[in-house]
């Protein structure tokens, strides 16, 4: 990790750290605008098209929320949080997303079933105790088709159950995260009930589809590996999905330089492609179509962490 931080100068870094980053602000405006048009106007033309646009823009908003918690588009944490205040995917509180994702960025603990909040692996001892139906469900969820179809509901249930346990133990920060989420969700619900023309069932379907789209990105971002930098993937997709994910598909670049804004990631990757691929030992896919061909109905990883020994991932 130190190699990248010291030997890889970031292009135009002084220019990137402005008071406000206009590409991100523009993307926020377009995202909210398209979502609003889909719920009010496009739904009268085609409900199917409106659902697709709502799903796509809600997923785009999640990518923008990820930018906000990493310090973009302004230098103010409060302003960044306010800019993504209406949570178009509605299910994850901003404060909880921020806390769990920044904990995930402790790269030395990546994929650890306990210390990495975004790990898809289980402790092998926990796995051994699961009933067969749970194991079957987990195996299905480790295929791309299973992750897209079942992943949103399974992930949400697991996330909320874990937070509920923390709240029961007296964790006030987790409780605060959910309490602050109430007015955020209420603002979206108010829009859907008072302004939007889209039926509630169509909106809820679009929310689920947006979460499914996001599962495509997170499906193979990380793997179990004894080398820290080799745990994080690259998907060299610069098409619609690359823009939708704000180039977070160039994931090892983001993990090595989490402070770099989304629009600078492709240039940084092109400038140092060989070094990044050497660091992650060519854990790389060209497109998401390639990912689908390989893993649509086949699990990429086992559910129990294959390198988990003595209470930690090796």
Tens digit of each residue's pLDDT (9 = 90 or more) over 129-162? 999 999 999 999 999 999 999 999 999 999 999 9
Q: How confident is the model at residue 5 (pLDDT cuts 50, 70, 90)?
A: very low
pLDDT of residue 313: 54
- Whether 295 has a pLDDT exceeding 50, the answer reads yes
CA 290 – CA 295 distance, rounded (Å)? 9
pLDDT tens per residue, range 202-256: 999 999 999 999 999 999 999 999 999 999 999 999 899 999 999 999 999 999 9
Give me the DSSP letters along 197-266: -S-HHHHHHHHHHHHHHHHHHHTTSB---SSGGGGB-EE---SHHHHHTTTTTSHHHHHH-TTS-GGGHH
Query: Is the pTM of the predicted complex or chain greater than 0.75?
Result: yes
State mean pLDDT over 47-55: 98
Q: Which two tokens stand for residue 113?
A: 């079933």
pLDDT of residue 308: 82
What was the pLDDT predicted at 53?
98
Do β-strands 234-235 and 284-285 pair in parallel, antiparallel, or remain unpaired? parallel
Q: Report which of residues 36 and 238 the model is more confident about.
A: 36
Mean pLDDT value across residues 149-177: 97
Q: Is the pLDDT of residue 306 over 50?
A: yes
Beta bridge partners of 222: 232
Residue 310's pLDDT band (boundaries 50, 70, 90)? low
**Averaged pLDDT, 22-30:** 97
Cα separation, 59 vs 42, in Å, equals 18
Q: Is the pLDDT of residue 72 over 70?
A: yes
**Model pLDDT, residue 311:** 56
pLDDT at res. 19:
56
Main-chain phi, psi angles of 151, to 5 degrees? -55, -45
pLDDT of 7 over the 70 cut: no
Mean pLDDT of the chain: 92
Q: Is the pLDDT of residue 8 over 70?
A: no
Give 80's contacts (C-beta < 8 A, 6+ positions apart).
68, 69, 71, 72, 73, 74
Buried b or exposed e, range 3-33, using 16+ CB within 10 angstroms: ebeeebebeeeeeeeeeebeebeebbeebbe
| pLDDT tens digits, one per residue of 76-106 | 999 999 999 999 999 999 999 999 999 999 9
Is pLDDT above 50 for 1? no
Q: Mean of the pLDDT values across residues 167-184?
A: 97
Residue 124 has pLDDT above 90, yes or no: yes
Q: List phi, psi (to 5°) of 20.
A: -140, 140
| pLDDT at residue 18, rounded to an integer | 54
């Amino acid at each position: 990790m130190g190699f990248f931080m010291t030997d890889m100068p970031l292009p135009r870094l002084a220019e990137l750290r402005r008071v406000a980053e206009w590409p991100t602000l523009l993307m926020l405006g377009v995202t909210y605008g398209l979502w609003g048009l889909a719920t009010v106007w496009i739904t009268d033309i085609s409900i199917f098209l409106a659902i697709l646009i709502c799903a796509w823009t809600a997923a785009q908003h999640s990518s923008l929320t990820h930018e906000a918690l990493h310090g973009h588009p302004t230098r103010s944490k409060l302003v960044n949080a306010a800019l993504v205040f209406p949570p178009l995917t509605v299910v994850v509180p901003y404060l909880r997303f921020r806390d769990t994702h920044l904990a995930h960025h402790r790269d030395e603990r990546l994929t650890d079933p306990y210390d990495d909040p975004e790990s898809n692996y289980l402790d092998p001892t926990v796995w051994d105790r699961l009933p067969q139906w749970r194991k079957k469900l987990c195996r299905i969820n480790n295929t791309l088709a299973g992750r897209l179809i079942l992943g949103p509901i399974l992930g949400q249930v697991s996330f909320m159950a874990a937070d509920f346990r923390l709240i029961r133990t007296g964790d006030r920060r987790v409780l605060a995260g959910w309490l602050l989420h109430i007015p955020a969700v209420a603002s979206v619900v108010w829009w859907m009930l008072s302004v939007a023309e889209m039926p509630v069932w169509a909106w809820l379907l679009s929310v689920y589809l947006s979460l499914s789209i996001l599962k495509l990105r997170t499906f193979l971002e990380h793997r179990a590996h004894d080398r820290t930098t080799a745990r994080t993937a690259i998907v060299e997709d610069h098409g619609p999905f690359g823009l939708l994910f704000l180039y977070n598909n160039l994931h090892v670049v983001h993990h090595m330089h989490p402070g770099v804004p989304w629009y600078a990631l492709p240039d940084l990757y092109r400038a140092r492609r060989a070094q990044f691929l050497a660091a992650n030992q060519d854990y790389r896919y060209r497109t998401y179509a390639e990912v689908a061909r390989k893993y649509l109905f086949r699990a990429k990883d086992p559910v129990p962490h294959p390198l988990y020994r003595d209470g930690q991932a090796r």
